[in-house]
Amino acid sequence: MKSPQHLPMTQFPIVDDCLQVGGRAITEIALAVGGTPFYVYDRQSMTRRMAELRAAMPEGLTIKFAIKANPMPAVVQHMASLADGLDVASAGELRVALDTGIDPIKVSFAGPGKMDWELKQAIASGAVLNLESEGEMERAAVIGEALGMQPRAAVRVNPAFELKSSGVKMGGGPKAFGVDSERVPAMLVRLGELGIDFRGFHIYSGSQNLSAESIIEAQNKTIDLSCELAAYAPQPVRVLNIGGGYGIPLFPGDPRLDLAPIGENLERRMAEVAERLDGAQVVIELGRYLVGEAGLYVCEVVDRKPSRGQMFIVTNGGLHQHLAASGNFGQVLRKNFPVVVANKVRGQERELANVVGPLCTPLDILASQMDLAVAQPGDLIAVYQSGAYGFTTSPIAFLSHPPPRQILV
Ligand SMILES: *Cc1c(COP(=O)(O)O)cnc(C)c1O
């Protein structure tokens, strides 16, 4: 049986066997950014991706960018111009979001354990809190009172159902995220008493899902649950944030998510929401789907070394700068991201090789037994699908190497 392959990566053109990003050869970008390793992100890819998504989703759907996927300020600025809002998960991200000049009401702040100073900053700025617990609601009310400002808030609900076949599950069963759906009616009564400006509901079930069927099922259940809970709301529901979870192909055998059936189903359901929750805005929030495929991580070959029948390509980048590609960020069995020799993509000569980093740990692997062009010191290795959860999800201080550079082209 043939082992599964990566889907072809077509987002970056290849000219003279060299990857091009934003119309420039990757070798040129390496010089322009001041050296390797680096992350390069492509504006055009993000713009194209958003246009494709809007074409497949119903008109009137609000699409937010979850900035934790890639909080580089230049990227967030670009995404703010494409998306209908930004979702943040800390006061630090809130600052980056507000620096784009976005209307604060379009910024939602989710995440458990919001600290008092973060709540204060968010309430003072006019962003919308996605309340993760009753305790957080009480603290927000006290802080709002002290500031003389009415907090804006949605209630994040932890549903009783799960997002099936998801890479990361964030709803269903006991969870740190959101308030159990059965507790929400009582919470809404209290929210009304506290005089918080109720915006609506936020239900986020999971991430990195490649099954349209599972996403449709979760969206349907989310809309049903929100309509039930709306009966207890102290004010009309204005925002119905049904989450996201749209995934991108990362590993051999991963398909591309089929958007068409999701769009068709959502169109029907949005018509129903318009009837049942008049005036409620339906929102999805996506991170990796919008920016993940628009980025590459690039490092440089330092050494080639045969060892007992295998070839090791040793680079100046690795696990400390791209934890996910090393297989140590939420994977059970290590699988390869798509990797190429960026300046010899097809290559005259090819070999089966391991690409490793400079760290003193056997976990520092960027590719294991991959078919690659024969790479020599000075050649560039590129890891695709690196525009999300790369730089900021990596233990950059581990082994005290300088951090990777970042560039948006
Ligand atoms: C992480 C997160 C997202 C973004 O997830 P992606 O998998 O990058 O789309 C969106 N919303 C919330 C609440 C999150 O925690």
Q: What is the pLDDT of residues 274-300, one digit of tens each?
A: 999 988 999 999 999 999 999 999 999
Domains of the chain: which residue ranges?
Answer: 14-41+292-408, 103-286
Give the position, in ligand 1's atom list, of the atom nearest the Cα of 110: 13
At 362-388, the pLDDT tens digits run 999 999 999 999 999 999 999 999 999
pLDDT of residue 112: 96
Domains 14-41+292-408 and 103-286 equal at CATH topology level: no
Ligand 1 center from residue 271 Cα (angstroms): 25
At 124-180, the pLDDT tens digits run 999 999 999 999 999 999 999 999 999 999 999 999 987 777 777 777 788 999 999
pLDDT of residue 291: 98
Ligand 1 center from residue 244 Cα (angstroms): 7
pLDDT of residue 1: 56
DSSP letters for 254-277: -----HHHHHHHHHHHHHHHHHHS
Helices (H), 152-194: 184-193
| E-assigned strand segments in 139-272 | 152-158, 166-169, 179-180, 197-202, 206-209, 239-241
DSSP H or E stretch at residue 306: strand 295-307
At 74-132, the pLDDT tens digits run 999 999 999 999 999 999 999 999 999 999 999 999 999 999 999 999 999 999 999 99
Mutate to test the pocket of ligand 1, among 90, 169, 207 (most ligand atoms within 8 A of CB): 207
Give the position, in ligand 1's atom list, of the atom nearest the Cα of 207: 7
pTM for this model (two decimals): 0.96
103-286 is a CATH 3.20.20.10 domain: yes
Grade residue 259 by pLDDT with cuts at 50, 70 and 90.
Answer: very high
Ligand 1 contact, 53 CB (< 6 A): no
Beta carbons within 10 angstroms of residue 82's beta carbon: 17
Return the CATH number of 14-41+292-408, one of 2.40.37.10, 2.40.30.170, 3.40.30.10, 3.30.300.30: 2.40.37.10
Ligand 1 center from residue 109 Cα (angstroms): 12
